[in-house]
Structure 1
Amino acid sequence: METTVNQPWCSPQHKPTTTVLPDSPEDIERYAMHSDDLQPTSDLHSSTLQSVSAKIVVVGDYQKPITLGRGGASTIKIGRRNRQISRIHVSIEYNNESQHFQLTVLGLNGANVDHIRYGQHAIVVLEDHSFIDVLGDHIEFRIPPPPRDEKSEEIFNKECVEEEKPEEEEFKEEKANDLSIESIEEEKVAKDEKTNDLSQVEEKENESQEQEQDYSEVIIDALVFSRTSSMPISDICSRIMKSNPVYAEQSRELWIERIKKVLKEKPFFGEIQRKGKTADGSPKENLYYYNSELDPVEWRRATYTQVGRSARKCTLKDKQYFWKIPPKLGRHRSSYIPPPAQSEAKSKRVRQNEQNENNEPKKTKL
């Protein structure tokens, strides 16, 4: 009979743990390495194989060259953080004479093509699936499909045109009739446009005649309500265009011609002729002012004389001012000390006292 020993029940979380002594058989089995733990070398991948798998595929172009480099001007950007790669390191283009794609090495550090090293300015003929190594950046070159022959396309287009010719001959008569109708309609439209242009010109002339009556008042407003009583034509024009936004829509040259015409025709505008040149070398403009005494309109003469000020007689003539260069002082300008003002006053008083004493008789004591 087997005897069973009743042991206390424990939960799985609180199971009794047995201590493993060092150098015991259990400890050796736990840390030992078996042959089953090793992996075969065929399942391992080296870093070189991974780098070769990550490569760029470049398809050639028969018309334009393809450039590879670090700069923004290159067609394909490579080696963004690699300073050894030039801004335009490699160029691939098609040579019509040899009818092959060629790679030109432009960078100082060269490049590898099909595991062969080439230096700067080297020209290499590329084939389909050529492997290019530019300082760590791997590129695979592919030859594009051949372009279509232009002659075959021309022959195909001619055949299509010949097929369409009989259809065009059938519609020639209809097109001629359509063209005659269109020409008649175009003539009508041209006549209508001419009449519209003439009407617009007449309207513009009428508007200009109506506006010319008010130009003198606008010019008087600009002259009277300004700080200066006289102004040149350019200042009058700019003041009018600023005060009235409607006038600003028209051209400045047109306004200058209108102002000149009004200033010459109206007798109540005076002119001050000026001579000489300005600082930039251009001749000085003549000044114009408003003379209220010669204005035939009474209400305008009364209102403007009360509101504004008329030009003074001293300002009706142009005075030229010249700048004179001051005289140069000597080298020892700091050594010269002017006399004080008080000493001059004292000397004058002494002189006056001496003159008075000489003129008056001396008093003698008794």
Structure 2
Amino acid sequence: MTHKTSIHRLKLTDFRNYPTATLALDGRHVVLTGENGAGKTNLMEAVSFLSPGRGLRRAVLADVVRVGATGGFSIFAEVEGMEGVVEIGTGTEGEGETVVRRLRLNGTPTRSVDELTDHLRILWLTPSMDGLFTGPAADRRRFLDRLVLSLDPAHGRRASDFERAMRSRNRLLSEGRFDPAWLTGIEQQMAALGVAMTLARREMLGLLAGLARSPDDSSFPSAQLALKGFFDKTEGPAIELEDRYGEALASGRYRDAAAGRTLEGPHRADLLVRHADKDIEAERCSTGEQKALLVGLILAHAKLVATMTGHAPILLLDEIAAHFDEGRRAALFNRIDALGGQAFMTGTDRSMFSALGERAQFITVRDSVLVA
């Protein structure tokens, strides 16, 4: 049985274009409509900060603070979460390069924002992701890692630790410091972290494959998923894979020094997506087909999160209805509703969401003012 996770109250202070704003919600889906630039996406971004990381825009924290504000921003939310009702407060302190993010749960400071995943999982889809299949591999890796992170909160720390170790190795190689003991220690750390990252990514693709290829209806095309570019075949115990990667790093020191970067590792992998029904690569599909593929993947992942955690995630779907006809929009809303959670959706035209009917709470955004 899947339990619902929902936000019942949201209050912002000095966040983007909002000096202050309060949103009272009743647990239904939320549709935010208004002209471009009114602040709809900013509200969605505020909700995304109820999860670890830098939000759906991956913003520098100092840039999120309202222009002219004398302090940091703050977000307060009352949430019916995975461990019951909880009050979440998060925001920033400091200025310039010293800006840090803080988190309070029920008024008590926490050691890490990672504790947010104990209470809710948040997934999002934004227009900036529309070029995922035709853009650089780094965007697809980041997309996949976000999917992994929603089920495995430790994945983010592994990835950041790997990047830190790789930078240390690259610096030593660029300086010509080929101390075997020092490099071997760093490479062993990279091997353990890199293999763990790869196995976590492949496990996610394995879990997602069945759902992504078996949608509840035919409105969104099925996807075939694969990971390529690093350990394309990962048979054998993890320790053997770590040894193989460690040996590859050691033997490639002079090559990497000449290149100025590490040429082999999980940072070189790519997520491959195919339109299963047409058996063609996603990047060769039409713009509309690519959008439908991406939406289908997000919905499949949301269903996986609900199945694995027992709680439906909160979905943030920015400008979600703009590219679909009336029939596909209705099918999309039915799929969202069937997940059993709460979704936030934005658009310029309220009529595009008419198929939701009473299943949604409609709010108009006008120049940072919210009108129910």
Same fold (TM over 0.5): no
Q: TM-score, normalised by structure 1?
A: 0.16
Q: Pick the structure with more strand per residue.
A: 2
What TM-score comes out, normalization by structure 2 length?
0.16
Higher relative contact order (CA 8 A, sep 6+): 2
